[in-house]
Structure 1
Amino acid sequence: MTARPYVLLSAATSVDGCLDDTSDSRLLLSNSDDFDRVDEVRASCDAILIGATTMRRDNPRLLVNSAERRAKRIADGKPEYPLKVSVTATGNLDADLKFWHFGGEKLVFTVDSAVAKVRATLGGLADVVSTGPELDWGQVLDELGRRGIRRLMVEGGGTIHTQLMSQNLADEVHLAIAPLLVGQADAPRFLGTAEYPGGSAARMRLLEAQTIGDVVLLRYAPKERS
């Protein structure tokens, strides 16, 4: 049986747990040193995943920005960029977004009812795979494992983080907390309402805590709960 990838959830939030505010412009939570740390983590991974909602909202290129890190990947026998992955249950994608036009190979996971729509929208911009009538994270991870993905970085959004955490599929969490308060009820959050493994009293193991300028990085092992 092919091994599933190691799943690393990465997010930056305000002190009150928000990934962004409700304005039209993206709220920059991290500082330059933390952005560089994220770039280093991206370079260490075989694939990077974001949801379609995050793609539409933030329009990211989702690249390894450091030329030195890209060169090291090539020297190590890896593609210059990690595989870029997205998931959509509705098929509502935009072929003009930056995600599709920068970096290396792209892959989209969707459901049976949306496969034709996604392929028609993207043409040859990405490989498209269905997980059946519903989005099945187990099948997503199994397929990534079959494609040689050993380390997967998940960069949002909150719905995806919530699903992976509640299904006990996240191996590690990197949470960068910025000294900001958003205070908006409709702002997107890192995690939503769900039945999490072990319930509210289950404590995850803390792997690391460090300050990066005015940001605090916390690394947790979600599967190691007491």
Structure 2
Amino acid sequence: MHALLSADHALDDEQLAVRYAYPENLGAPFVRVGLVASADGAVSVEGRSEGLGSPADRRVFLLLRRLADVILVGAGSVRAEDYRGARRPTLGRDTPPPIAVVTGSAQLDPAGRLFTDTRVPPIILTLPEAPPERRERLAAAGADVVVLERLTPDVVLAELARRGLHRVLCEGGPNLFGRLVAADAVDELCLSVAPLLVGGPAGRIASGPAGEHLRRMELADVLHENDTLLLRYRRIRGDTPIE
């Protein structure tokens, strides 16, 4: 056992970007999940993750977006958090990463900030069963509406790969994260632990179907600032599933 807290010098933005860099020369999607939770495991305060934020978490949140090719999110989070488009360009590009929304029903507000406050069109990944009038309204609002045969992680990630979007940042919500876990599709988890006790009915960061196996993760990095803990876990390549 080792103590992690130290008085090391503060990291500047360039050093932080190096620590959080995606693997190079990706030929397939690398799925990083970036989330925040309280010290007692709550994923939200009064239904929103915003209440758990801190300057440290916000700094890493913005960096993770700038490192990504695409931001993957479930429709429930878009509605609950009133999502808007990413603001800052991806590092090495002139435009921000698009927001890709997974929604079987296409039940999104075309007048919402996702469509009206963005520099790049959102990608709406939906199903043939979604009402055509909803899909048409979202397309008229500027969205790139994509109808897929199913919204399982393999099909969703294959669509992103087809577009050359390999550096994937998933921002939840719990149902989408849970489906990625069950499909064994998570390569890395960046978890900010807020120094708060929330209690109440708040859920956990992942929910949904159980996977066939547990997957062991290794601790890749630990940072801290003003009592906020910033953890990065990565999948152990070649690891045998835990029965």
- TM-score norm. by structure 1 comes to 0.84
Deviation at 1:34, TM superposition (A): 2.1
Offset, 1:166: 1.4
Seen in structure 2, the aligned counterparts of structure 1 residues 50 and 100 have a Cα distance that, compared at 3 Å, is same
- Determine which of 32, 36, 40 is the counterpart of 1:8: 32
- RMSD (Å) for aligned C-alpha atoms: 2.2
1:206 corresponding residue in structure 2: 219
CA 1:118–1:170: 2 relative to 1, 3 Å: farther
Q: 2:177 aligns with which of 161, 165, 177?
A: 161
- 2:37/2:194 contact within 8 Å kept: yes
Deviation at residue 5 of structure 1 after TM alignment: 1.4
Note closer, same or farther for the CA distance 1:174–1:111 as it changes in structure 2 (3 Å cut).
Answer: same
**Cα distance in 2 for residues equivalent to 1:34 and 1:193:** 26
Identity of aligned residues (%): 28
Number of equivalenced pairs = 212
User: d(CA) in 1 for partners of 2:111 and 2:53?
Assistant: 27
Deviations 1:164-201 (A, max 9, x none): 1111111111000101122122x2320125423533xx
Partner-residue secondary structure (3-state), 1:207: strand
**Higher RCO by CA contacts (8 Å cutoff, separation 6 or greater):** 1
Q: Letter of the aligned partner of 1:6 in structure 2?
A: F
Partner residue of 2:79 out of 34, 56, 59 = 56
- How far the C-alpha of 1:95 sits from its partner, in A, is 0.9
Contact persistence 1:52–1:93 (CA under 8 A): yes
Partner of 1:191: 206
Matching residue within 61, 64, 87 for 1:38? 61
Say if 2:107 is the partner of 1:92.
Answer: yes
Unmatched segments (≥5 aa) in structure 1? none
Question: 2:194 aligns to what?
Answer: 178
Q: For residue 16 of structure 1, what is the amino acid of its counterpart?
A: D
Equivalent in the alignment of 2:228: 215
Q: How does 1:77-116 map to 2 (within 5 A)?
A: 78-101=93-116, 102-114=118-130, 116=132
Contact 1:48/1:152 (<8 A) preserved: yes
The separation in 2 between residues aligned to 1:190 and 1:215, in whole angstroms, is 17
Question: Is 1:118 matched with 2:134?
Answer: yes
Whether the aligned pair in 2 keeps the contact of 1:39 and 1:64 (CA below 8 Å) is no
Selected match of 2:144 from 123, 127, 134: 127
Cα deviation digits, residues 94-113 of structure 1 (max 9, x gap): 11211112121311101110
TM-score by length of 2: 0.79
- 1:26/1:33 CA distance change after superposition, 3 Å: closer
